[in-house]
């Protein structure tokens, strides 16, 4: 059983367009409505592969009810904590070359008592679980150290903690010694205060994050693949995506694949890359199923060229 915690969930609407000229009327060629939020996506990906997933999240208003209905339809065990603020909505506009323009609402303010109720729900839901995954941005009103608080509570159990967040929330959580953190390239660079431009930079930044407390780092690098840095060393891999459609949720699918495959070694990284690449080939934030995976397109390397540059970001 894997528990996911999403403190700032959303309804994600994806619009596909032929092109996106600024200031002009553009007609969508396709649309999707999916449950959103990093932890929600991890749970959805796990459920697609018949892995047991339980999603803990605050829900409020009609959008919260709709989000819960979508998750239940996906076969996910939902632990909903009622809150006064309405659940947010996000919009992604996807062009044919895979370029994604996102507009995310900040989310409603959570009160101190609502945060307390969420923490208690997580601790209760985590009984007997293998992993608890703390994911995503924090809504207004939630202190940056909430993941530290949750990690301390979970430290009373034998449940391993994975963290996928950014900024001060990520930096503060490292002191709680999570079993795994999964930053993307930008989040990794921000956490160490230096650019990440080569594979060697990724290794150095991951080592700094590990010295700060994380036991393992799974760095998602977009089109450049992913890197696992832990006590056993460094493993790097890439996966081909013949026809990219949307990068939304791809990192979440990657994390789900890694956890589902045991969260250790080349086999888990292979699965992570296969799940992430499959998500890029799907519309919107749809999570890949078993038939979407192309493990044969994954290439794993245990030796890297530290000077190999990463692709430029635009």
Q: What is the mean pLDDT of the segment spanning 291-311?
A: 95
pLDDT at residue 246, rounded to an integer: 84
**Per-residue pLDDT at 145:** 93
Residue 15's nearest CA partner among 275, 245, 250, 280 is: 245
CB count within 10 Å of CB 147 equals 25
- Token digits for 276? 């992430």
pLDDT tens digits, residue range 152-202?
999 888 899 999 999 999 999 999 999 999 999 999 999 999 999 999 999
| CB distance 55 to 79 below 8 Å | yes
Kindly list the structural domains of the chain, giving each domain's residue range(s) and its CATH number in brackets, ordered by start.
Answer: 2-19+28-301 (3.40.1190.20)
What is the reported pLDDT for 148? 95
Q: What is the mean pLDDT of residues 290-300?
A: 96
pTM for the full predicted model: 0.92
Return the percentage of the chain with pLDDT > 70, whole number: 99
Using the predicted structure, report yes or no on whether residue 83 has a pLDDT greater than 80: yes
Output the pLDDT for position 176: 93
Which pLDDT tens digit goes with each residue over 133-156?
Answer: 999 989 988 998 999 999 999 988
CA distance 125 to 164: 19
Is 252 considered catalytic here?
yes
Residue 242 confidence class, pLDDT cut points 50, 70, 90: confident
Q: Catalytic residue, from 252, 291, 297, 305: name it.
A: 252
Q: Does the pLDDT of residue 314 top 60, yes or no?
A: no
Query: Each residue of 274-285: pLDDT tens digit?
Result: 999 999 999 878
Report the alpha-carbon distance of residue 140 to residue 164 in Å, rounded. 18
Q: What percent of the chain has pLDDT over 90?
A: 88
Give me the chain's average pLDDT, please.
94
């Amino acid at each position: 059983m894997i528990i996911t915690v999403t403190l700032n969930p959303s309804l994600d609407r994806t619009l596909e367009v032929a092109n996106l000229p600024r200031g002009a009327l553009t007609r969508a060629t396709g649309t999707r409505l999916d449950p959103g939020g990093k932890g929600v996506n991890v749970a959805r990906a796990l459920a697609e592969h018949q892995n047991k997933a339980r999603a803990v999240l605050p829900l409020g208003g009609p959008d919260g009810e709709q989000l819960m209905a979508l998750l239940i339809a996906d076969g996910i065990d939902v632990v909903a904590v009622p809150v006064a603020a309405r659940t947010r909505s996000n919009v992604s506009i996807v062009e044919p070359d895979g370029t994604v323009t996102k507009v995310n609402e900040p989310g409603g303010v959570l009160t101190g008592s609502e945060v307390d109720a969420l923490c208690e729900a997580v601790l209760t839901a985590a009984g007997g679980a293998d992993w608890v995954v703390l994911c995503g941005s924090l809504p207004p009103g939630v202190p940056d150290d909430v993941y530290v608080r949750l990690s301390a509570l979970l430290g009373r159990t034998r449940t391993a903690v994975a963290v996928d967040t950014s900024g001060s929330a990520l930096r503060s959580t490292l002191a709680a010694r999570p079993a795994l953190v999964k930053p993307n390239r930008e989040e990794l660079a921000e956490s160490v205060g230096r650019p990440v431009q080569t594979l060697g930079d990724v290794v150095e930044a991951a080592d700094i994050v590990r010295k700060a407390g994380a036991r393992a780092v799974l760095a998602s690098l977009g089109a450049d693949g992913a890197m696992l840095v832990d006590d056993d060393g460094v493993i790097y891999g890439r996966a081909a995506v013949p026809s990219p459609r949307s990068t939304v949720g791809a990192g979440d699918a990657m994390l789900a694949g890694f956890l589902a495959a045991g969260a250790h070694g080349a086999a888990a990284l292979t699965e992570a890359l296969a799940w992430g690449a499959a998500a890029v080939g799907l519309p919107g934030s749809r999570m890949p199923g078993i038939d979407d995976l192309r493990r044969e397109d994954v290439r794993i390397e245990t030796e890297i060229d530290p000077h190999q540059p990463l692709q430029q970001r635009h």
